[in-house]
Copies of this chain bind each other. A is one copy, B any other.
Amino acid sequence: MPAEQISELRKGNRLALSRILSQIEAGTAKGDQALEALFPYTGQAHKIGITGPPGSGKSTLVNALARQLRTLESHPKVAIIAVDPTSPFTGGAILGDRVRMQDLQGDKGIFIRSMASRGALGGLASQTEMLSQAFDAAGYEYIIIETVGAGQSEVDIVNLAHTTIVVDVPGMGDDIQSIKAGILEIADILVVNKADHLGADQSVKHLQTMIAMGYRGLRYAGGKHRLSETMPQKQDEPEPSGWIPPVLKTIAFDGTGVDKLAEEVVKHGKHLKETGLWAEKAESAITETLRKLMISTLYKRWRQTIPEEELENIVNQVLERTLHPHQAIQQLLSYNKNTTH
């Protein structure tokens, strides 16, 4: 990655940015080099995660929010990363960015990028993080990360954000409600979109009750402990952040309530900085990045020490139930020790 391209990206050249994003997404050596060169300039952007069930009008809301954030005094640049983790097999992102681009055309301060989920090396969450680093270094003050659904992978993705918005629509029924309890805890701002539909006030009330009941507080629990286990641990005693998630009503289609949403986003960013949670989040993200890199590096190193034949032999013994997986690991590790030292 020539220094010139990095400098062009830093100056606001959209084509240079677009090319670097493609390299990063493809996982090329150039992409890695770019990330390395851009790293010193990262850590500035306010990342906003948005999730919610299909049909809640997220995309329209995201576009409206982006336009609204553009009207802030500093005229910040806004990036949108649209991720669709529900389609792990079909190549290419379902959310069509071309249509959405048209909707936002003319504003060179907004940049939309859809993420193809196929073959996302190291998982979607990590790839989203890499793309947002490029936007961050390119001076985008707000990065909106939009994802479909409300499962674990969506939670992983939006957890990278500083501010998480959970979008709901009126009257999704009782069965859908059960999903909310889980996702509610990651929400910093709740939005009932399509607020002109029947049951909007009821949905708002329901969400407010859930919040009052205490579905909250597990989120910012620091990151220092996370390198101590392969899998991130849940914290049992979270520190309450003092932020009570507001429940807002919007009609994304005509922009109703979107000004208030942008306001709350800005307010939440300030809250994070004032309470030190912004810095905590940054540390947690770096620790997680290092953990993943370390795992991948250690595994690759080990893998190179074992001949294919030996590995196959051991897999077959486990298949025949003559060797237990734990014994297999011990054998594979001792092989490693015997040959490399």
Chain A residues packing against B (C-beta within 8 Å) = 32, 36, 39-40, 42-43, 54-55, 85-90, 94, 118-119, 121-124, 148-155, 173, 175-176, 178-179, 181-183, 185-186, 215, 218, 224, 227-228, 230-231, 233-234, 282-283, 286-287, 289-290, 293-300, 302-303, 311-312, 314-315, 318-319, 321, 324-326, 328-329, 332-333, 341
Contacts and interface: CB of A to CB of B under 8 A. Distances in A.
Contacts of A297: 329, 333
A176 B297 CA distance: 39
A39 to B, nearest CB: 5
Q: How many copies does the complex hold?
A: 2
Contacts of A155: 88
Could you say which of A55, A86, A179, A293 has the most chain B C-beta atoms within 10 Å of its C-beta?
A: A86
B296 A230 contact: yes
Contacts of A121: 231
B293 A329 contact: yes
Contact of A55 (B54, B150, B176, B224): B176
Contacts of A85: 151-152
A87 B315 contact: no
A283 B315 contact: yes
B294 A302 contact: yes
B90 A185 contact: yes
Given A55-B173, A149-B150, A228-B303, 4 more contacts: A94-B181, A151-B154, A290-B328, A297-B329
Given A55-B173, A173-B55, A230 B300 contact: yes
Contacts of A151: 85-86, 149, 151-154
Given A234-B118, A300-B230, A319-B286, A89 B185 contact: yes
7 contacts: A54-B176, A86-B151, A152-B152, A224-B315, A227-B311, A294-B329, A295-B298
Nearest to A322: B40
Given A89-B182, A176-B54, A321-B42, A315 B287 contact: yes
Contacts of A150: 86, 149
B39 A324 contact: yes
Could you say which of A88, A181, A289 has the most chain B C-beta atoms within 10 Å of its C-beta?
A: A88
A161 to B, nearest CB: 16
A297 B224 CA distance: 20
B90 A182 contact: yes
A252 to B, nearest CB: 14
